[in-house]
Structure 1
Amino acid sequence: MDRLVSMQAFTRVVDVGSFARAAESLDLPKATLTRLIQNLETHLGVKLLHRTTRRISVTTDGAAYYERCVRILADVEEAEQSLTRHNNSPRGTLCVDTTAGLARMVLIPSLHDFYNAYPELKLELTINGKPIDLLQEGVDVVLRVGALDEAMVARRLGQVKLAFFASPIYLRRFGTPADLTELAQHKAINYLSNRHGREMPWVLSRNGESSEILLPSAISTNDADVYIGCALEGHGIAQISRAMAEPYVQSGRLVEVMSDWQTEELPISAMYPQNRHLSAKVRVFVNWAADLFSRHPHFGVAPQQLAA
């Protein structure tokens, strides 16, 4: 019995909660993975998993063994990398989940540089703005805008600077708001939170005065492209990142309003599970992404902010 292979099979089953998904992620037949777990239990003389037709749960012995296995496998990986990192670049498949906007504006334009630096890495890039279970989904690292997930390790990469925009179509019909009183008479295109599904209020500040408002809207959405599309068609005032709004401002299709008021700056973070060793492929990707964002004209932040 290959002890390390069996440990890897066991930890993957615990991580994803399914023999079928674990076998698929390890590229093993399900029967082979099942046999590995059975042989491991026989070798140890304890039951590691409770299995029914409906669910899989970890026994008390299995939970303790799982924690040890995670550390052992991480140590083995680190030992191997320490011998090869000077001669070989990280290899294998790296699963990254991000938003469409960050992928389109920051990652994709620089992928040639990434592959030149790390030719043995294959990138699986998935687009999902919602919170996900990285272990269940088989994702190595996520890039997110906004609130952090306290269950994961996070590294701040940059920030999104927001402002208020409307189309000339809308402003010709309803006028341009100059202050909060006038803004309250307008309609918004509201953004639905991917965390709780509710419309997100706007936070504005000026000269020490801060206000949180939620304007009425004819439409709300949780998709950034749909959100901007509604703004371009004149359905209301929208709060949009300057990076995404810039080409439409230059073409005259969007106009900034309430420009003397400041709005939120949302953090952009790379996050990965706390109980997982930071592999070389995740490390090089996060470092590469951090460098990209630091040099971006819209998403970069001062070094002291990154350290905060």
Structure 2
Amino acid sequence: MDRIAAMNAFVRVVEAGTFTKAAETLDMPNASLTRLIQKLEEDLKVRLLHRTTRSVTVTPEGALYYDRVVRLLADLADIESSTTHARTKPSGKIRVDAATAIGTLVLMPALDDFYRTYPDVAIELAVGNERADLIAEGFHCAIRAGNVDEPFLVARQIGTFGFTTCATPALLDAHGAPTSPDQLSDFPTIGMIPSGVGYPASFPFLYDDRKEGLPLNHRLIVNDTNTYLAAGLASLGIIQAPAYSVRDAIAAGKLVALLEDWPQPSYPVHVIYPPNRYLSAKVRVFIDWLVELFERDEALRRR
């Protein structure tokens, strides 16, 4: 038995809470994972896990073993990261979670640059509005827009983004343009439901450095960033979207920025990951690349 593989499998089961989820993150059959853990318990002559049809819990002996194994695996990762080969030529797969707009509009156009520098690193990118559980789902890192509420993970700010209120020329020809935020209720608008929230976000503006959101009676509400932008481009209503997501359309004349004299709030962008000592070389270089990517972009640079 590969003891390191068995230790890693045990840690993944504990963190994921089920054999099925752990097997998915390890990309191995459930039966193979089960046999690996059973063999580990046989070799150690101790039961590490209590299994039921619905969940897995750790025995007292398993909890002790978990604490020690996590430290051991972290030390091994540090040793690998410190070698000359790992630093100069990192390899392997990285699992990354990101919001749809960031994944589509920020990462995708730039990833070729990353691969030219690190051709042996593969990236599995999950995009969507729902925030993944990094530990349970086996992600190495995630890119989060807005405030971070995962206290047991490292959060490193890599950028900042603002919002732009905009609409198509066709919609403005049909309805005119608002000259102040309080006039938005007289115009067709489109609402966006953020992840983890059951209602559309307000259109926020800054008044004496205070953020105030305008509750609007939207004619259309969606829960996906790409759909939201498509609705705006289809002249269905006024949208308020991240500035980086609409700048190309504004430059091309497909959208027109509105209410530019009225300040709109900015939000931080973080990359989150387990504490530094658990990072492998492949994850370190990816995070460093993210920092440089956001720093080069005027619309996303950290402020």
- State the TM-score, normalizing by the size of structure 2: 0.89
The verdict on how the C-alpha distance between 1:6 and 1:244 changes in structure 2, with shifts beyond 3 A counting, is closer
The answer as to 2:83 corresponding to 1:62 is no
- 1:274 deviates by 4.7
Give the letter for the 2:287 counterpart: V
In structure 1, distance between residues paired with 2:192 and 2:126: 21
1:194 to partner: Cα distance = 0.8
Residue type of the partner of 1:16?
A: A
Q: Give the root-mean-square deviation of aligned CA atoms.
A: 2.4
Q: Name the amino acid aligned to 1:83.
A: T
User: Contact 2:168–2:255 (CA<8 Å) still a contact in 1?
Assistant: yes
CA contact (8 A) 1:129 1:144 kept: no
Q: Which residue of 2 aligns with 1:121?
A: 121
Counterpart for residue 33 of structure 1: 33
- Supply the AA of the counterpart residue of 1:222: N
Q: TM-score, normalised by structure 1?
A: 0.88
- The residue number in structure 2 matching 1:149 is 149
Size of the aligned set, in residue pairs, is 302
Aligned AA for 2:145?
Answer: V
Paired position in structure 2 for 1:226: 227
Q: State the partner residue of 2:298.
A: 297
Aligned-partner SS, 2:96: strand
Q: What secondary structure, in the 3-state scheme, does the structure 2 residue paired with 1:267 have?
A: strand
Unaligned runs of 5+ in 2: none
Write the letter of the residue equivalent to 1:268: V
Name the CA distance, whole Å, in 1 between partners of 2:22 and 2:211.
50
CA–CA distance in 2 between the matches of 1:159 and 1:110?
Answer: 18
Shift of 1:137: 2.4
- Answer yes or no: is the 8 Å Cα contact 1:99–1:144 preserved in 2: yes
Cα distance in 1 between the residues matched to 2:72 and 2:203: 47
Segments of 5+ residues of structure 1 without an aligned counterpart are none
- The C-alpha deviation readout for 1:187-217, integer Å capped at 9, x for no partner, is 3211102112211112212455653211110
Residue by residue, what CA displacement relative to the aligned partner does 1:56-111 show, whole Å, maximum 9, x if unpaired? 11122212321211111110121133234467411111111223322333322332
2: CA distance, partners of 1:88 / 1:248: 39
Moved more, 187-196 or 99-108: 99-108
Q: Does the residue aligned with 1:198 lie in a helix, a strand or coil?
A: coil
State the distance in 2 between where 1:135 and 1:282 align.
Answer: 15
Counterpart in the other structure of 1:212:
213
8 Å Cα contact 2:98/2:127 also seen in 1: yes
**Partner deviation per Cα, 1:145-182 (whole Å, 9 max, x = no partner):** 12213243211111122121122222233321112442
